[in-house]
A and B are shown apart, each in its own frame.
Chain A
Amino acid sequence: MKRDEQLMVPAAEFGSYYGRPVIKEPVWGAPAIPGYLFLGGLAGASSPLAAVAEFSGRPGLALAAKTTAAGAIGLSVVALVQDLGRPTRFHHMLRVFKPTSPMSVGSWLLSAYGPAAGAAAACAITGLLPAAGRVATVAAAVTGPAVAAYTAALLADTAVPAWHEAHRELPYLFVSSAATAAGGLGLLLVRPEQAAPARNLALIGATAELTAKSLLLQRLGEVAEPYQSGRAGRLMEAAEILTAAGLTAAAVGGRNRIIAALAGAALVASSAFTRFGIFFAGRMSAGDPRYTVGPQRNRKDRKDRGDRGISPPPAGKPARAPAERGDLAAAR
């Protein structure tokens, strides 16, 4: 509620405390963190694509994918460090290894993957140490998908309703978005005759992404709202249009250099938009107590009813009137 809409110290609302958020909005900043999600996905999916390209004799695609992976992961690490409250302490990330912390796991993953992706790209660009390059390429290809996927846990393993409630779909959405981006970038950078794996990956990724998104929205119910409204909603919608367009173009005209490039660009952009959309949806859901209180209140009421069976409420604690119930409708 905006202040100027208040007529007085508001009567206590059942459902929230002056409409204030119950949880904190994540302090993670944009574009750094959604950018990181995008770049990490791009890199993580580019590395297996590079390996496939290399071992299927497509050096052009392999070089492009390796360079992309190394560049993206490099940039993403910069974004991560820059988003820290105390950037000079980035190395504290390797103080502990905590399986309970996706960020800890991710940090260790990044410290394995980053050098591998970097080495692979360096060897490919310079042509030096080809054997080592191959080892690095494989190593990056193996760890890359984990890098692309773990960020889903990073977001989902929070109290942010739109992220946490999506914890089942988010990993699939993230990897498919990553595949879309990596494939798309391949289409954009590489001549069509070298780009078949990229195109394939883009097609698979984009299809999967559309599916995952629609599954996610279906299952989230009311907590899906943040994905469908406001800035996040616009981003998600744009992403969907771009994905569909890119998908169609790549499928139909993927062998045309220009169409392929346009399709690739659309898919890369769609992946970025998706990440930004998801990021802002989470923020919005954290900022509005409805999404925190509503589902919890419903769950608690269900539990309380279950606990009580059909017996009357205990003395001193009468059942709350329906109007008092903190369901979504009453929360505001």
Chain B
Amino acid sequence: MSLDPAARSGYADHPPRMGFFTDTSVCIGCKACEVACKEWNGVPEDGLELTGMSYDNTQSLGASTWRHVAFIEQIDHPGQPRWLMASDVCKHCTEAGCLDVCPTGALLRTEFGTVVVQDDVCNGCGNCVAACPFGVIGRRETDGGAHKCTLCYDRIGDGLTPACAKACPTESIQFGPLDELRDRAQARLETLHEAGVAGAQLYGEDPGNGIGGAGAFFLLLDEPEVYGLPPDPVVTTRDLPRMWRHVASAAAALAAAALISGLGGRA
């Protein structure tokens, strides 16, 4: 599958695809990404609930949380106690379910290959929410619209770094041309494997995966589901052609059934 979604979305001459590489092995769980994102994008506060989920009171990505730091306590981890931290974000899929199903064109592929919501277009139908295999996008109660990470579309258009990546104290969040990030991630993975960090793995970067490769991918230290990520997501629209065929034959069957029902002559 092509890693150049911008070209397939009508951008003949476009800049390189941009993305995030989130290296969770150096995340210190400070949540600067969450705050910097909200400050820049004006995302509202998202509830004041103590969850008991370690230091994670944000809980998940959603309409009012575009970066979410997960905390996983593994004090019994063989070798050394671990406290995993990972900053999750919209994956900006090559094949984006939210974008595919959006009926209004509010969701948009940008020239950078990222996926954004046009707030002035969105009518809050909620279809994207159900279509995202990562549970990223949500509909905000207060304004009825769908919202998610824009990869700071406004900033990157001016050559600026997205707010979260800029704030990140340890460069756990890296922003750049996707090709470059992929090389960097491979190198980092090899370093970790050489250092004997079992379980280190890249998540989402494989163009052969079910979303055609993510524009925002991760280096994880454990299995994806430990972080609340789906282990092998497949974009729902891959099955849509088949669904349409079944819908067509079902509709035809209904028409036929109606015709058959009328057999037996006039009353």
A and B touch in the complex (CB under 8 A): yes
A122-130, A155-163, A221-229, A243-251 - the one binding chain B: A155-163
Q: In whole angstroms, how far apart are the Cα atoms of A9 and B138 in the complex?
A: 27
B10-18, B26-34, B176-184, B191-199 - the one binding chain A: B191-199
- Number of chain A residues close to chain B: CB under 8 A: 106
Task: Tell which of A95, A106, A198 touches B261, judged by Cβ atoms closer than 8 Å.
Answer: A198
Interface centre among B137, B140, B247 (most CB of A within 10 A): B247
A233-241, A255-263, A317-325 - the one binding chain B: A317-325
Q: In whole angstroms, how far apart are the Cα atoms of A289 and B225 in the complex?
A: 9
Q: In whole angstroms, how far apart are the Cα atoms of A184 and B199 in the complex?
A: 58
Closest Cβ of chain A: how far from B78's Cβ, in Å?
A: 11
Interface set, chain A 189-236, CB cutoff 8 A to B: 193-194, 196-201, 204-205, 208
Closest Cβ of chain B: how far from A222's Cβ, in Å?
A: 16
Q: B5 interface residue, CB < 8 Å from A? A: no
Contact B130 A160 (CB under 8 A): yes
Contact A101 B102 (CB under 8 A): yes
Task: Tell which of A6, A101, A198, A316 touches B101, judged by Cβ atoms closer than 8 Å.
Answer: A101
Contact A172 B231 (CB under 8 A): no
Task: Tell which of A12, A149, A159, A316 touches B196, judged by Cβ atoms closer than 8 Å.
Answer: A316
Q: B42 interface residue, CB < 8 Å from A? A: no
Q: A107 interface residue, CB < 8 Å from B? A: yes
A residues within 8 A CB of B62?
24
Contact B230 A292 (CB under 8 A): yes
Q: A112 interface residue, CB < 8 Å from B? A: no
Q: Given A153-B243, A157-B101, A175-B254, check contact A22 B232 (CB 8 Å).
A: no
Q: How large is the interface on B (under 10, 10 to 19, 20 to 34, 35 or more residues)?
A: 35 or more
B residues within 8 A CB of A20?
53, 59-60, 228
Q: A49 interface residue, CB < 8 Å from B? A: yes
Contact B53 A9 (CB under 8 A): yes
Contact A17 B261 (CB under 8 A): no
Q: In whole angstroms, how far apart are the Cα atoms of A108 and B189 in the complex?
A: 48
Q: B229 interface residue, CB < 8 Å from A? A: yes
Task: Tell which of B103, B222, B264 touches A98, judged by Cβ atoms closer than 8 Å.
Answer: B103
Q: Given A149-B254, A157-B243, A196-B267, check contact A98 B226 (CB 8 Å).
A: no
Q: Given A86-B123, A145-B252, A316-B200, check contact A103 B103 (CB 8 Å).
A: yes
Q: Residues 13-35 of chain A: 1 if any B CB is under 8 Å from the residue's CB, otherwise 0?
A: 11111101111101110000000
A residues within 8 A CB of B160?
none
Contact B133 A92 (CB under 8 A): no
Closest Cβ of chain A: how far from B24's Cβ, in Å?
A: 13
Q: B215 interface residue, CB < 8 Å from A? A: no
Contact A12 B239 (CB under 8 A): no
Q: B150 interface residue, CB < 8 Å from A? A: no
B residues within 8 A CB of A27?
126, 129-130, 138-139
Q: Given A45-B258, A56-B262, A168-B246, check contact A315 B103 (CB 8 Å).
A: no
Q: A171 interface residue, CB < 8 Å from B? A: yes
A residues within 8 A CB of B139?
27, 85
Interface centre among B130, B132, B239, B242 (most CB of A within 10 A): B130
Contact A171 B132 (CB under 8 A): no
Contact A45 B254 (CB under 8 A): yes
Contact A85 B132 (CB under 8 A): no
Q: B260 interface residue, CB < 8 Å from A? A: yes
Q: A134 interface residue, CB < 8 Å from B? A: no
Q: Given A11-B73, A160-B130, A172-B246, check contact A326 B258 (CB 8 Å).
A: no
Interface set, chain B 234-258, CB cutoff 8 A to A: 236-237, 239-240, 242-244, 246-255, 257-258
Q: A174 interface residue, CB < 8 Å from B? A: yes
Q: Given A17-B227, A26-B126, A149-B251, check contact A159 B97 (CB 8 Å).
A: yes
Q: Given A196-B267, A300-B232, A316-B197, check contact A145 B251 (CB 8 Å).
A: yes
A residues within 8 A CB of B266?
56-58
Contact A158 B145 (CB under 8 A): no
Closest Cβ of chain B: how far from A159's Cβ, in Å?
A: 4
Contact A315 B124 (CB under 8 A): no
Q: In whole angstroms, how far apart are the Cα atoms of A201 and B254 in the complex?
A: 9
Contact A22 B252 (CB under 8 A): no
Q: In whole angstroms, how far apart are the Cα atoms of A255 and B43 in the complex?
A: 63
A residues within 8 A CB of B198?
316-318
Q: Given A172-B246, A193-B267, A293-B231, check contact A21 B135 (CB 8 Å).
A: yes
Q: 20 additional contacts, CB 8 Å, given A158-B101, A299-B232, A318-B198?
A: A20-B59, A23-B133, A27-B129, A48-B255, A52-B258, A58-B266, A84-B124, A86-B124, A92-B104, A95-B105, A100-B100, A101-B127, A102-B243, A149-B248, A160-B130, A175-B250, A197-B258, A208-B253, A286-B130, A326-B231
Would you list 8 pairs from A and B whose C-beta atoms are within 8 A, ordered by A residue? A14-B225, A16-B228, A24-B62, A56-B265, A156-B236, A160-B130, A167-B242, A200-B264
Residues of chain B at the chain A interface (Cβ within 8 Å): 51-54, 59-60, 62, 70, 72-74, 76, 84, 97, 100-106, 121-127, 129-135, 137-140, 143-146, 192-194, 196-201, 222-223, 225-233, 236-237, 239-240, 242-244, 246-255, 257-267
Lowest 10 CB-CB distances: which A-B pairs, in order? A85-B124, A85-B144, A17-B228, A52-B262, A48-B258, A316-B193, A89-B123, A200-B261, A171-B250, A96-B105
